[in-house]
A and B are shown apart, each in its own frame.
Chain A
Amino acid sequence: MPTLSIQSHRFFCHVWILVFWFFSAPLHAELDIEIFGGGTARIPIAIVPFADENKFQHSITKVVSDDLERSGLFSLVDSNGLTPYAPVEVVYSDWIDRGASALVIGRTIIMPNGMIEIQFRLMDVARKEQLTGLVATVPITQLRSAAHRIADIIYETLTGDVGVFSTQIAYVMKQGDKYALQIADADGFNAQSIIEYTEPIISPAWSPDGSQLAYVSFENQKPVIYVQTLATHQRIAVANFKGSNSAPAWSPDGQRLAVVLTAQGNSQIFLINVDGTGMRRLSKSSGIDTEPSFSPDGRSIIFTSDRGGSPQIYRMLVTETENSMAERLTFEGNYNVSPDFSKDGRSFTFINRNNGRFNVAVQEFGSRQMQILTNSQFDESPSFAPNGKMILYATEIKGRGILSAVSRDGQTRQQLSIQAGNIREPAWGPLPTAN
Chain B
Amino acid sequence: MKKVLSVLMISLLSACASQTTQPAADVEDRTIGANGEAGNGSSIASGESNFHPLQDPNSILSQRSVYYDFDSYTVRNEYREMVTAHAQYLRDNANSKVLLQGNTDGRGSREYNLALGQRRADGVKNMMTLSGARDSQIEAVSLGEEKPRAVGHDESSWRQNRRTDIIYRGE
Chain A residues close to B by CB (< 8 Å): 200, 202-203, 218, 222-223, 243-244, 246-247, 260, 262, 266-267, 288, 290-291, 304, 310-311, 334-335, 337-338, 351, 353, 358, 378, 380-381, 396, 399, 424-425
Contact = CB atoms under 8 A, between A and B. Distances in A.
B interface, over-half SS:
mixed
Given A244-B118, A288-B116, A335-B71, A399 B153 contact: yes
Contacts of A310: 71
Interface string B133-153: 000000001101011000001
Given A202-B146, A311-B71, A335-B71, A267 B115 contact: yes
Contacts of B114: 202, 223, 244, 246-247, 267, 290
A interface, over-half SS:
strand
Given A260-B115, A288-B115, A335-B71, A244 B108 contact: no
B109 interface: yes
Contacts of B142: 244
Given A200-B146, A218-B146, A338 B118 contact: no
A308 to B, nearest CB: 13
B91 interface: no
Contacts of A243: 118, 141
A351 B107 CA distance: 11
Nearest to B110: A202
A244 B112 contact: no
Interface in B109-167: 109-112, 114-116, 118-119, 122, 141-142, 144, 146-147, 153
A94 to B, nearest CB: 50
A288 B141 CA distance: 15
Nearest to B151: A399
A425 B115 contact: no
Contacts of A304: 109, 111-112
Contacts of A244: 114-115, 118, 141-142
B53 to A, nearest CB: 28
Contacts of A378: 106-107, 153
B119 A247 contact: no
Given A222-B141, A335-B71, A288 B109 contact: no
A288 B108 CA distance: 15
Contacts of A223: 114
A240 to B, nearest CB: 14
6 contacts: A202-B144, A246-B111, A267-B115, A291-B111, A304-B109, A358-B108
Contacts of B146: 200, 202, 218
B110 A425 contact: yes
Nearest to A394: B110
A335 B108 CA distance: 9
A338 B115 contact: no
Given A200-B146, A222-B141, A351 B119 contact: no
A203 B118 CA distance: 17
B112 A288 contact: yes
Contacts of A353: 108
A239 B127 CA distance: 29
A334 B72 CA distance: 12
B115 A290 contact: yes
A286 B114 CA distance: 16
A244 B108 CA distance: 19
A338 B112 contact: yes
Contacts of A334: 71
Contacts of B118: 243-244, 262, 266-267
B141 A291 contact: no
A337 B104 CA distance: 15
Contacts of A380: 108-110
Nearest to B147: A200
B111 A202 contact: yes
Contact of A351 (B109, B122, B147): B109
Given A200-B146, A202-B146, A244-B118, A290 B108 contact: no
Nearest to A379: B108
Contacts of B106: 378
A222 B147 CA distance: 12
A203 B115 contact: no
Contacts of B122: 266
A200 B110 CA distance: 11
B112 A290 contact: yes
A338 B7 CA distance: 36
A246 B109 CA distance: 13
B112 A311 contact: yes
B71 A260 contact: no
Contacts of A288: 112, 115-116, 119
